[in-house]
Structure 1
Amino acid sequence: MTVPMAPAELYRHGLHLLLEKDIAAWVDLWDEKGVLEFPFAPEGWPKRLEGRAAVSDYMSHYPDHVDLHDFPDVEIHQTTVPETIVVEMRGVGRLVETDRPFDMTYIAVVTVEDGHITSYRDYWNPLAVSQPGADFAGANR
């Protein structure tokens, strides 16, 4: 019997999978009924995805839009609930279509139960999509 990864360990593993562009393996980290929420999503963007299949559909073309190179700043904070972490991080890379730099700061509240992500609230910056040259809309829609 394998012991499930702790939330912080699972999250860091997920970041590695995203850098490897292994979206299928990243989606496998999700619980079948996991929920991905974007509380600050602008009009016309999804605010809530329910279930692993919806997360998979949403993320399947991410590498076609954003070529992630690194997560240079990752701070993981344990909450009073052992299954829940708060993550402050920055992702950098390039936008595939225009070859322009990609640099996004995130805060996420993530809950992991039995080794799978059950809840992920992604507080990304919606102002970044309205900035000149921010043409990565397809990556987050």
Structure 2
Amino acid sequence: MSATPQEVFGRYIHAGTVTRDADALAECFTEDGVFEAPLVPADAAFPRRLVGRARIRSAMAAHYEQQAKTDRPAPNFEKSGYVLHITSDPDVFIAEIDSVFDGEDGEADTAVCLVQIFRVRDGRIARLRDYFTPALVE
């Protein structure tokens, strides 16, 4: 039995956002999986397109290592939320995500909204298009 959209999404978020584990994140993808961030400029440090589990693993490990060197906070998971939109194609679902980051020193919280389109095969991500503000990864 194939994984549900909720299961696929849950594994992906846990690996990528909660634990920032590049190995676990890569395992969410098919061997030939594709990760795309179409709004990221071609000359940005964050990869715009990654093809294959091995490339996803290495690029995201480098990204997580770079993130660890900054003081960028993790989202507040209690304030953040998402909605999964199931499509007429059983292999495609859309995640609408509102990530909330706590404000510092009395500043207001910051909300970041993004959309991800998932195409799955055999319970793994075959293609992910992640539409987010490029400033998030600068």
The residue number in structure 1 matching 2:106 is none
The residue number in structure 1 matching 2:41 is 42
Aligned length: 122
1:29–1:116 Cα contact (<8 Å) kept: yes
The normalised TM-score by structure 1 is: 0.73
DSSP 3-state at the match of 2:23: helix
Q: Where does structure 1 lack aligned partners over 5 or more consecutive residues?
A: 95-100
The normalised TM-score by structure 2 is: 0.74
The change in CA–CA distance for 1:26 and 1:59 in structure 2 (over 3 A counts) is: same
CA distance in 1, matches of 2:110, 2:20: 16
CA distance in 1, matches of 2:86, 2:5: 9
How many percent of aligned residue pairs carry the same amino acid? 26
The change in CA–CA distance for 1:25 and 1:120 in structure 2 (over 3 A counts) is: same
Shift of 1:63: 3.5
CA distance in 1, matches of 2:54, 2:110: 27
After the TM superposition, which segments of 4 or more aligned residues of structure 1 sit over 4 Å from their partners?
A: none
Q: Where does structure 2 lack aligned partners over 5 or more consecutive residues?
A: 103-108
Shift of 1:92: 4.3
The change in CA–CA distance for 1:78 and 1:27 in structure 2 (over 3 A counts) is: same
DSSP 3-state at the match of 2:32: strand
CA distance in 2, matches of 1:92, 1:22: 21
CA distance in 1, matches of 2:11, 2:101: 18
CA distance in 2, matches of 1:82, 1:62: 31
Q: What is the one-letter code of the residue matched to 1:57?
A: S
DSSP 3-state at the match of 1:110: strand
